[in-house]
Amino acid sequence: MVARAAAKAPQAIATIAVATRFIRGNKFDRRGTDPAGRQERGYAYVYGCMIIFRKGAKELFDLLEKNKADVEKTMRSVKGLVSYTLVRSEDGGFSVTVCNDKPGTDESLEKARDWIAKNAAEVGVAAPKVSEGSIVVDLK
């Protein structure tokens, strides 16, 4: 078992090195804040946001799935968007947004809130839990 894990170690180290070169090679937008000082050390600045829905989420995610094209169009208009994912879970659902900077995730939150207010007000979804911060590892 130990020999098998040791044999995989060089591959894991190579993967981390490639990921580090990829992250350092990305261009970044200097408008956001960078509390960890990664921009100064040559890293790309990427910011993420997760919105977790519970009460009313099943109905909301049914509606989001039904209006997938409109949701995609709305979220693609976010400046600096890197990726956007909606995930349906057993007890609700969540979205994960990655942008080049914090202003991008702020814009994505605003667009999501506006879309729900305009298209899903009757669903009665409870206020979601929002968690955000700078990305530590971003694999493609």
Token pair 């947004």 is found at 97
**Are 49 and 97 contacting, i.e. CB atoms less than 8 angstroms apart?**
yes
pLDDT band at 136 (very low <50, low <70, confident <90, very high): confident
Query: What separation in angstroms does the CA of 83 have from each of 1, 39, 47, 90, 121?
Result: 37, 20, 11, 23, 26
Q: What is the pLDDT of residue 137?
A: 83
Q: Return the percent helix, strand and coil in the chain, to nearest 5.
A: 45, 20, 35
34-50 confidence digits (pLDDT tens): 444 544 444 456 899 99
What is the C-alpha separation between 24 and 33, in angstroms, rounded?
Answer: 17
* 3-30+44-134: CATH class: alpha beta
52-85 confidence digits (pLDDT tens): 999 999 999 999 999 999 999 999 999 999 999 9
